[in-house]
């Protein structure tokens, strides 16, 4: 069970990438096969066999919509749509108009996928496993509520780390699970002596994160983000973002980490 949950967390956080407005590629086509209504939005599927996933996600949407907003201190009123799209080419992509999740990449034994936009969430329904819906929605709802707020003043590594930290605080069991999944990645980078390289990559934008050859360190960047925000705390991080753009150097200083990775 411990291994399964650790793998679930790794695949989840690697999939949940928030992209700034106006990405270089289009969002998927809006599904028209069915609807699972939720208080705070709806889940749209493309076929009847997605109904169980649709209702699972709708329950998670309502369960964490307010909890995430309350923790961040920001709340979006726009009705949210979750799209079940088994053909979405990316594991996870966050736009300014919807959250996108590829359900084929939600199987524990393969990948996990989720993404945030202004109006929708897209999910490949065939791969959603028990326990994933809550973590996926809490992470993506963090991006959803934060999308048009001062929290976008954070560098990408802190923005993703914030979403991981919110999940850890609001979803039962996910704090320990994320630590078990992500902490060993930092330890391994330290043992290899390449923490300085990891910190240098952390200052790139999300498009560079996901472009070869830099995407080889994607999981380490999520681990770094979680570690930094865990050190800083959500509230001090939000306070800093509300004062204006925050640099990576400022994030490292707040976390007590040197540019060479010392203190990490």
* pLDDT tens digits for range 65-89: 999 999 999 999 888 888 877 776 6
- Give the mean model confidence (pLDDT) for residues 251-256: 97
Same domain, 142 and 158: no
Of the three residues 151, 170, 191, the one that is the final residue of a domain is 151
Contacts 24+ apart (CB under 8 A), 70-77: 71/166, 71/169, 71/170, 71/234, 72/142, 72/145, 72/146, 72/149, 72/151, 72/166, 72/234, 72/238, 73/238, 74/145, 74/146, 74/149, 74/151, 75/145, 76/144, 76/145, 76/147, 76/148
Measured between alpha carbons, how far is 264 from 12 in angstroms, rounded to an integer?
Answer: 23
Domains held by the chain: number: 2
Same domain, 129 and 162: no
With respect to residue 6, please indicate whether it lies within any of the assigned structural domains. Answer: no
Q: What confidence tens digit (pLDDT) does each residue in 7-63 have? A: 455 555 545 555 444 444 567 778 887 788 999 988 888 777 777 778 888 899 999
Domain extent, residue 26, equals 15-151
Q: What percent of the chain has pLDDT over 90?
A: 38
Residue 224: pLDDT band (50, 70, 90) is: very high
Of the three residues 151, 185, 215, the one that is the final residue of a domain is 151
With respect to residue 60, please indicate whether it lies within any of the assigned structural domains. Answer: yes
With respect to residue 30, please indicate whether it lies within any of the assigned structural domains. Answer: yes
Same domain, 174 and 117: no
With respect to residue 263, please indicate whether it lies within any of the assigned structural domains. Answer: no
With respect to residue 4, please indicate whether it lies within any of the assigned structural domains. Answer: no
Same domain, 147 and 19: yes
Q: Which two tokens mark 61?
A: 């949407």
Same domain, 245 and 176: yes
Q: What confidence tens digit (pLDDT) does each residue in 111-132 have? A: 334 555 555 555 555 555 556 7
Between the alpha carbon of residue 138 and those of residues 99, 175, 204, the distances in Å are: 12, 13, 25
Sequence-separated (6 or more) residues with CB below 8 Å from residue 148: 76, 96
């Amino acid at each position: 069970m411990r291994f399964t949950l650790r793998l679930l967390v790794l695949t989840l956080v690697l999939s949940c990438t928030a992209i700034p407005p106006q990405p270089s590629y289009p969002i998927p086509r809006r599904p028209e096969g069915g609807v699972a209504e939720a208080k705070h939005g709806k889940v749209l599927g493309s076929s009847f066999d997605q109904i169980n996933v649709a209702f699972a996600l709708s329950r998670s949407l309502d369960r964490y919509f307010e909890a995430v907003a309350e923790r961040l201190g920001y709340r979006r009123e726009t009705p949210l749509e979750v799209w079940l799209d088994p053909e979405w080419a990316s594991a996870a992509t966050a736009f300014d108009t919807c959250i996108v999740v590829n359900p084929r990449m939600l199987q524990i034994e393969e990948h996990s996928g989720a993404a945030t936009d202004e109006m929708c969430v897209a999910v490949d329904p065939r791969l959603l496993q028990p326990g994933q819906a809550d973590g996926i929605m809490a992470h993506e709802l963090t991006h959803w509520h934060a999308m048009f707020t001062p929290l976008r003043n954070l560098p990408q590594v802190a923005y993703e780390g914030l979403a991981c930290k919110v999940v850890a605080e609001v979803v039962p069991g996910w704090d320990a699970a994320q630590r078990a999944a992500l902490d060993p990645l930092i330890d391994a980078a330290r043992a290899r002596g390449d923490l300085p390289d990891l910190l240098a990559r952390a200052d790139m934008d999300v498009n560079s994160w996901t472009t070869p050859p830099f995407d080889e360190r994607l999981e380490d960047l999520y681990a770094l983000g979680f570690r930094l925000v865990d050190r800083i705390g959500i509230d001090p991080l939000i306070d800093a973002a509300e004062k204006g753009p925050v640099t990576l150097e400022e994030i490292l200083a707040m976390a007590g980490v040197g540019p060479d990775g010392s203190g990490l």
